[in-house]
Structure 1
């Protein structure tokens, strides 16, 4: 199966500028191709990841990926997918973000481990472009009527678009031309909303290099969940690649909790499992959905890919401990990951009677009478251990590394107390 055939099987192709031409080119040689991301934040989220998974597939097929960090384009703002102007960031913040994105990219593409990857920043070649040169060399090549007809611009005409964001497609076109000339890049990959920018770049290449220039564009479909909503959010918000923003445990749980209707699509999009492996999992979804084997495989593959095998092992350890209730062996750091979104409070590091602790500190019990009753009935666990003694004193021995105390009431209700002072 060729790389393009594989992409079609995975449902990862939205539009192509010349499929037959690209197919012939790939059959002839290994090509250089690129995808870009603007450093408007200090981490990518899983929505950003989609086109880069395609870039990774080309890399594994022997082609040469170039990743563009948009230090220049990020400083003016991409109007794609927006209804209002983006707030401009300082160049200092953009540069800090760019460095963090470079670290993430190197990890995803195994930079330094034998798989060649080229990281570039368009600020390097755009920072010295004068206004006069911009207008004479490039502005002359763009027809305003054509630019207005691009979806990304047309969708903003009613609400308004600044000249700064209007010029974004020109700047991105210059990027494609520069990479075509300097890096032999012949294919740009992007999300569905980048189609207008990609085709503008191809037009510029042909105007500057001649109509026979071999350059191509390919976009990825907008990824929607089975309920019609946009993919990429959890109940707590965005799912980030930065473990400080979304812990590996939360990341793992996000994939583990995917709908049966979506999981095979995500396996095709996001994993490097073979067609036979995915079809076997699809059969499991149809015949044994309660086992959630496809979801578990998806969670494992993605957590290992984005974080590491060690992070996956830890995420599964936390998941198993929470499922079984045997949390005693977890570390304080693992508790912090696994209990990030349960009800919580803070309390001083001092000994306190359990009844008082349940009512006054955690408020997990409405009254002392109810607290005593639940303790006697065995409904209360501290650090995973059942406590039936109403005179039990909650102390440092009940904590995780003198940082957290975990209370469990009944089968599922957890509460976290963070110790301070």
Structure 2
């Protein structure tokens, strides 16, 4: 099966500029393709995963991917998919973001794989060298205002207003395609469905500057569909905000839990989109979902594949260990780092590293509202220390109750967890 057939089976092709031409081009050549990632933050989030995975799919099929970091365009701001103007960052900030994103992409793509090794490029290299006169004379003259106004990314912003800065973004991205076409023999640009206008504008610039007929131009575009969730909420968002690829911003455990909690109606689609599982195995997982949805077998497989891809095997094992400990209530085997991940969002209280009676701790940490209630909670078996029920009214919380000499986990009732941090 060729790469395009596989992508179509997975539902990953939204639009192409020339189906037959692209299929032939991919069949006959080792194709260099690119996708852009603008550094608008110091980390990618899972909304960026699909285009990154697309580059990886093409690389696995023998083609050569370019991860284009938008160090230049990131200073301008893409109007696509937005109703308001972006805030502009300084050069220093954007360059810092660019380096972080490059490192994350290096964890997904193979930058050491012979003739089709992935490469990273930064469009600041060429855009920063272009003068205003060069921009207007050599590039701007090829773009009619009516042509630009007809693009969805611009048209959707006209009512609320769009600055000349963001209006020019399409032209700058076109320069990227033209530059990579000339210097890297890059003939395919991929991106999200909101990038269609920018991609076709780049192809038009190549056609005009190369003085070739449209039918002879060896430049193509392909977009992936917008990811939608069955419940209508935005993909990649949780109550805590975006799901980041940086483990410091979203821990591997939280990342794992995001995928585990995928809606039953979305899980097979996401497995097709994000994993490299063969279609036969995906069909088997779909059958398991229909036969025993409560077992959540596809959800677990999706979480395993994605956590291993982004964070590695050890981080996956750690996420699984935390998940199992929280499910069983047996917390004694967790270490300090695992507690930091698993209990990141539970209420936490700081105490001095000294002995304190359990009753006083419950009151001072506001776990129980009064000493009388604390005594009742303990006597009724509602208080657990590090997963173990404790009904000793005279118990003193000391070094033996501290995990890694830092943490004590108190549970009151079935689900109310509290993290005591000793300093």
* TM-score normalised over the length of structure 1: 0.98
Of 125-134 and 290-299, deviating more is 125-134
1:128 counterpart residue number: 129
C-alpha distance in 1 between matches for 2:48 and 2:80: 13
Aligned length: 419
**Cα RMSD after superposing both structures:** 1.1
Q: Note the 1:22-421 alignment, pairs <5 A.
A: 22-112=22-112, 116-209=117-210, 210-211=212-213, 212-361=216-365, 363-420=366-423
C-alpha distance in 2 between matches for 1:124 and 1:379: 62
Quote how far apart the aligned CAs of 1:113 are: 5.9
C-alpha distance in 2 between matches for 1:229 and 1:378: 40
C-alpha distance in 2 between matches for 1:419 and 1:92: 38
Quote how far apart the aligned CAs of 1:196 are: 0.5
1:12 equivalent to 2:12? Answer yes
Residue 418 of structure 2 aligns to a residue in which SS? strand
Quote how far apart the aligned CAs of 1:365 are: 1.4
C-alpha distance in 1 between matches for 2:99 and 2:47: 20
- Cα contact 2:243–2:255 (8 A) shared by 1: yes
C-alpha distance in 2 between matches for 1:10 and 1:102: 27
- Cα contact 2:52–2:105 (8 A) shared by 1: no
Quote how far apart the aligned CAs of 1:356 are: 1.2
Of 268-277 and 75-84, deviating more is 75-84
C-alpha distance in 2 between matches for 1:108 and 1:49: 9
Of 302-311 and 207-216, deviating more is 207-216
C-alpha distance in 2 between matches for 1:248 and 1:110: 21
Residue 209 of structure 2 aligns to a residue in which SS? helix
Off by >6 Å, runs of 4+ in structure 1: none
Quote how far apart the aligned CAs of 1:229 are: 2.5
1:384-408 deviations in whole A, cap 9, x for unaligned?
2221111111112211222221101
* TM-score normalised over the length of structure 2: 0.97
Residue 92 of structure 1 aligns to a residue in which SS? helix
C-alpha distance in 1 between matches for 2:239 and 2:149: 37
Q: Which runs of 5+ in 2 are unaligned?
A: none
